[in-house]
Amino acid sequence: MNNLHKVIKTIKYGSSNFILRVERNNLQFNPGQFFSVGIPGTPVNREYSVSSGINENYLDFLIREINNGVLSTKLKNLEKNDQIKILGPYGEFYLKEFNIHKKYNFFASGSGIAPFLSIIYSYKNLDYNIFHGVRLFEDIYKQNELKNYNVFISKPTKEKNDNSLIKIFNGRITSNFDIINKHISLNDLFFICGNNLMVNDVYNYLETNYIKNNNIYSELFF
């Protein structure tokens, strides 16, 4: 099976974040899964969640460039028709049985928002909230089709928000549970993805506030 895919384009936002869009070549996956991505001829692969929907004819990977990173900078500098190698899909961070009548609450830090974007783009009538923790204003994922997008910026900002659909708060997700608690209920579904401290803190908060374990799904990025 050919695991090489041509680059369509890179979409850069902020100084470090970018979306790598590649030809799908009929590759199948479930929203929430990830692939192992690399460059032909190099021994290094990294795991990235798909951020595009299952009905698109391309694959998007939302990637943060790491200073002195072995792979991310090379991926960012790829040009149209360059090739990458993709293995997978992998992971169980997706719904086996999708319930359109439930409300979904997505908690993410940084690029941990990627699998949630895939779910949202795949199920257009989804009722959801996004609670996204980022470090800088420039890390906000500014796509107009998102709704109920709440951003928590750990580095205080006075920058102007030019999108009325995005609600911006200073501080980390875990220091704003008083705000979050107004948007969630006991019968909702909860998904958490990102760094381990955020995931553990949110998980513990939900458990402490009587959310059932079988309504909470989590995945650690690092």
| More reliable by pLDDT, 213 or 74 | 74
pLDDT for res 161: 78
Neighbours of 14 (CB within 10 A): 17
**Residue 5: how many other CB atoms lie within 10 Å:** 20
Average of per-residue pLDDT across 45-49: 94
Q: Is the pLDDT reported for residue 65 higher than 50?
A: yes
Q: Where are the domains of the chain?
A: 4-90, 103-220
Residue-wise pLDDT tens digits, 83-140:
999 999 998 877 666 677 889 999 999 999 999 999 999 988 889 999 999 999 999 9
CATH of 4-90, one of 3.30.465.10, 2.40.30.10, 1.10.3860.10, 3.40.50.2300: 2.40.30.10
pLDDT at 217: 86
The pTM score is 0.92
CATH of domain 103-220: 3.40.50.80
Output the pLDDT for position 222: 45
